[in-house]
Structure 1
Amino acid sequence: MSNTPVIAAVDGSEHSLRALEWARKEAVRHDCGLLVAHVLPDHAQLYAGRRASLHDASEPEEFADPVRDWVRSLLGADGPGLPEGVTYEALEGSVPEALRVIGSQARMLVMGSRGRGGFASLLLGSSSRAVASTAACPVVVVPHAERGAIPDADADAEQSAGRVVVGLHAAETPDDVLTFAFTEAAVRATTVQVVSAYAIPPSPNLVIDSPFAVIPPEGLADEGDGVPAEREMLRSQTERLAPLRERFPDVPVEQAAVPGDAAGRLVIASRAASLIVVGRHHPRRTAMSLAIGSVAHAVLHHAHGPVAVVPTLKDDV
């Protein structure tokens, strides 16, 4: 069994239950431990601080943690402990910071799209967004039920067999992102589908100074199958994927070059995929830029299935 765990962040909400179920299956796939992490609410942290400062031996040594009991019952634990390979840790501090610290040595950190304290109308909670933006490990966000992310138990086998879809900008996507996607496809014995998008000309009705990446008309003229932009995109994909094909010879690969918006295409693909994989941000951005790129941001907000946001490790540590 690997010593690098999958971490499930829970808070007792229905959203974190779905994340816990997903993380437990992921730990089995990778033959590694499962660490269930709960960031204590403010009142519990205040109690712990008060007891420590006053050294009051008359107070219970441990604050009641109903989430720990909830986790035990969900995982079918016998007695006071947890099933073999599962550990539980109560954390103090803010949710993003506590999870960022504990996730520094994790295989991945799995959490729900919003927690117990989130607004019901939000597709993505502030804690999930913050953790996905800052964690040193890949963060998988499992959407809530209203988005139709995880099917019912009867369809579970079909969903787990779905392909892994990864968004690729051939010149910019870090190798970490591709390696994560191929690894996930390998442990699922499924296909990895690589999706790249190329810009299309704007409508003639748009103003001439529109901020669009435009393919000139001569670049679209083509007597063969597909436009030159598509063929060039597929060629670039093939070049980037060659080392991954060698490392993962048993993983089938599908390549797709599509016109238009990359995020929109990935959201559509998420309806039938077991996992969508995106890079956290453009590797050339400076420290003053947003911590998460526009594609990752859009996919996190709108995907119908689990989304893995993979950091550029050499830039994020």
Structure 2
Amino acid sequence: MSDGLVGDRLVIAAVDGSEHSLRALEWARTAALRHDAALMVAHVLPDVSQLYAGRRAALHDRNEPERYADPVGDHVRSVLDAAPELPREVRYEALEGSVPEALRAVGGECAPLMLVMGSRGRGGFAALLLGSSSRAVATTAACPVVVVPHADRDAEDAAAEPSAGRVVLGLHASETADDVLAFAFAEAAARGTTVQVVSAYAIPPGPTLIIDSPFAVIPPEALADETDAVPAEREMLRAQTARLAPLRERYPDVPVEQAAVPGDAAGRLVTASRSAALVVVGRHHPRRRGPLMGSVAHAVLHHAHGPVAVVPHLPTGAEWSTDDF
């Protein structure tokens, strides 16, 4: 691995040695290759190693070895050494502090393209779909956070259709921040795949409404006045089309599919995650910058069958583009 890290394109993989984090490491490795980015493998040292480091620094004891035991770092190095291909630069970073605080700090300092982590760490309970550290980082990090689900979800999802490789974007036409749309389109452009845009609309309950019916995907050119869609669906599709116009112009080679569905947006995105390469959601309403994650992002993170990118609202003047990737 490289001792230095040159360049401004960076993917961070958060690892702890667990199988869940190694799945995230592999996802991050391929993402860095896809975006021609450097890879930083970040590991928060266990408490005993942090105490040793503090003791050595306080005592200035030259007889103590400079390097303390870091089995996670050694294991991850061996895993990457066996990989078929590595990004242009790779660096391992041992961090101190609590896991969420350390990862938030390195994500803020390095301004990475994304921070990738597993959905459940080494200490997670088997019944949990999302660990506390993953939830905390996804809720507060300054950069997009990609959460890769643990292997148990594969067993639960064995009957799902093969991945279509598309990027699924959860869109509230009037509320989702531009940063979220830009991230989804940039990721689809890097993958050479389609963006499937899913929006939900509210409708009054009726005796014939079947909420769990499959949703229809409609190409933009099919949005004619004579469509058979219900008025709420038609208006949602038109709002989608207007909101997506700048992104379609910016990324003319990215195919777009649009879907307007009744009822629960989170449930529809979870369903779509069964055959998606990545689901992209905004962290919260752009005008609500409190510490809480939005309900849709929260639900999708807990139940998605594939990787989920949670994208915060970037500071004024910043933007995602293919030049960033």
TM-score (structure 2 length as normaliser): 0.84
Instruction: State the Cα distance separating 1:151 from its structure 2 match.
Output: 9.4
**Which blocks of at least 5 consecutive residues in structure 2 are unaligned?**
1-5, 208-224, 319-325
Which of 277, 284, 297 is the aligned partner of 1:281? 284
In structure 2, do the counterparts of structure 1 residues 56 and 291 end up closer, same or farther at CA, with 3 Å as the change threshold? Answer: same
55 and 271 in structure 1: CA distance in 2 versus 1, 3 angstrom threshold: same
1:83 is displaced (CA, Å) by 7.5
Name the SS for the 1:74 alignment partner: helix
Q: Deviations over 1:76-126 (max 9, x none)?
A: 269xxx985111000001111110111121110000001111111110000
1:200 CA drift (Å): 2.0
After superposing on structure 2, the runs of 4+ consecutive aligned residues of structure 1 that deviate more than 3 Å are 149-152
User: How far apart in 2 are the matches of 1:305 and 1:83?
Assistant: 23
Q: How far does residue 170 in structure 1 lie from its aligned partner after superposition?
A: 0.4
Please give the alpha-carbon distance, in whole angstroms, between the structure 1 residues aligned to 2:88 and 2:258. 40
3-state DSSP of counterpart to 1:88: strand
Does residue 142 of the first structure (1) align with residue 148 of the second (2)? yes
For residues 98 and 36 of structure 2, the distance between their equivalents in structure 1, rounded to whole angstroms, comes to 30
Paired AA for residue 303 in structure 1? A
Which of 259, 276, 280 matches 1:256?
A: 259
Tell me the C-alpha RMSD between the 2 structures: 2.4
State the distance in 2 between where 1:66 and 1:224 align: 61
Which residue among 123, 128, 133 is the counterpart of 2:134? 128
* Residues 24 and 117, structure 2, Cα contact 8 Å, conserved in 1: yes
Q: Which position in structure 2 is the counterpart of 1:298?
A: 299
Matching residue of 1:92: 96
Distance in 2 (alpha carbons) for counterparts of 1:99 and 1:300: 18
Contact 1:76 1:83 in 2 (8 A): no
Q: Secondary structure at the residue paired with 1:263?
A: helix
Equivalent positions of 1:107-126 (< 5 A) are: 107-126=113-132
Count of residues paired in the alignment = 289
The answer (yes or no) to whether the contact 1:37–1:88 under 8 Å persists in 2 is: yes
CA distance in 2, matches of 1:295, 1:274: 19
- Residues 171-226 of structure 1: CA distance to partner in whole angstroms, max 9, x if unpaired? 0000000000001101111000000000121358xxxxxxxxxxxxxxxxx99501
Cα pair distance change 1:228/1:74, threshold 3 Å:
same
CA distance in 1: counterparts of 2:112 and 2:187, whole angstroms: 15
CA distance in 1 between partners of 2:312 and 2:99 (Å) = 19
In structure 2, what residue type is equivalent to 1:299?
A: V
Deviation at 1:69, TM superposition (A): 1.1
